[in-house]
Structure 1
């Protein structure tokens, strides 16, 4: 290996200090929330994490991948799985109520609300961010949720339908602030949206009208 190549490989790591992947993700989460996808650069994230930009690129490969992975700090699929399984703290017997309340809590919690708005806004306005958000939903959220309700194509379609209701509610309520949905108390939104989510996840295939290939 040439001296130049060795120099490139060493450039991203501070002498004597290991580079924390988690530290880079945390810095990316804050930067994406503050500046949005378009204005966030790998160099800016690297400066926030106190590493070289080459190390950020080495760890994640691209800004799109960094965006996708940082979404996991905001929407933890494990939290949604716990809500589905009834292992969350809500104590609700209804699966839709548990899911909707858990999801809205993420949107309204002070530590995640700004990031959620910024991430979804980026996903609706930038093709690369949209692709990253889609991959995150497919590979993490929908895979985790469908696994809890049985796995397979039918479960994945049910999970996607439930997600469409949740994401659509969030876009109108939190991102676009469309009334009256934006002004309703959270518990009213939970009560109104939960039956639809429950139906998508638990109704019989005939009742739901699932296509033959998804039964």
Structure 2
């Protein structure tokens, strides 16, 4: 709450007003804290403030919205239109962060973006490496198809992953291109996948000062 605004102040002073700045709150703040935090970041003109508080309670975002003009993005943990429809209809967010792999594929997410379009709410689809190259390619094709595209989160998959999922997509100078291969432009190689047996993995535990397990 105290430190992050000073970070944005320093970055703005160093790089000026044109650099897009984003911040992810990982749902950690209470609605009151989130509203105060969003308001404190207004002078730095964020591109978006992501997951500043829990989105499952729709009234949380209403409270934040009433206090601040900082753009709000949410949705990466949502898996149903019912999780986000009221946030769109009540214009409580600016960017939809849902992912094709969590949300049921291209069709339901395209319907959500059609619902968002009259409200000038844009896309900002979730694109970490736990979204496979197939899921990411689906998002990229959807980005190109919709009129209310905003931004696309992108993280590079590992060399091993890209051996298994051969993609025609390219990334250059901050821009993504889906390539010219048919379909989604991704070819899955199961015979290569067999070289990499599944290893169970978990997100890290995050603990408070007293040792209590807390949302990471």
Normalising by structure 1, what TM-score?
Answer: 0.26
Q: Based on CA coordinates, which of the two structures has the bigger radius of gyration?
A: 1
Whichever structure has more strand as a proportion of its residues is 2
Whichever structure has more helix as a proportion of its residues is 1
Larger RCO of the pair (alpha carbons < 8 Å, separation 6+):
1
